[in-house]
Amino acid sequence: MEEDNTQSTITPVKTPKSGKIVKVITYLLVAAVAAGAVYFIAQKRPSLIGLPQNGVEVQAETDALIADVGKLIALPTDEKPTVATITDVDKLKDQPFFKNAKNGDKVLIYTTANKAILYRPSENRIIEVGSVNIGSQAEVTPEASPSPTVKATPKPSLVPVVTPTPQPTATPQ
């Protein structure tokens, strides 16, 4: 008898559809994990991905900033300041108030008290104090001044002004 040296091996045949399905499921799973991570970061630390903070965090940060600056200089107590962060100091270099400013410095603007304070949190130091002049412009422009300046503003008078009128004079006849 002859021996049959041929072995019959059965190998599973992969269909092209099953490979694609595995890839699609893998991509969907990775996308879901990434979306979940972005959502978690957006909820816990929105500043890490460039989103604005919620109102409570911003108010707490502003209150802490006011407390820090209040330890260095007397601040107006009758109003809350508008707080701005310097992000591009090159745009402000032509203004005298910002000549020593750096990126990351904070500006506290008190519109009622006409006061602006440039504060550097990294050094816990006040860099500049100036007056704020709000004219017909919609924006606030702090100006540096070594001493307080007073700008005269005409105010309408509510009292009528009496101007004497010439009286006819009687001529003798």
Joined together, the tokens standing for residue 51 give: 């989103």
Work out the widest C-alpha separation in the chain, in whole angstroms.
174
Backbone φ and ψ for 110, nearest 5 degrees, come out as -105, 105
pLDDT digits (tens, 9 = 90+) for 55-114: 677 788 888 999 999 999 999 889 899 898 999 988 888 888 899 999 999 999 998 888
Sheet architecture: strand order including 82-85: 82-85, 106-110, 115-120, 125-133, 141-144
Joined together, the tokens standing for residue 102 give: 């750096």
Confidence grade of residue 14 (pLDDT, cut at 50, 70, 90): low
Closest CA to 65 of 48, 52, 80: 80
Please give the model's pTM, rounded to 2 decimal places: 0.50
| Backbone angle region of 124, left / alpha / beta, with phi > 0 → left and psi within -120 to 50 → alpha | left
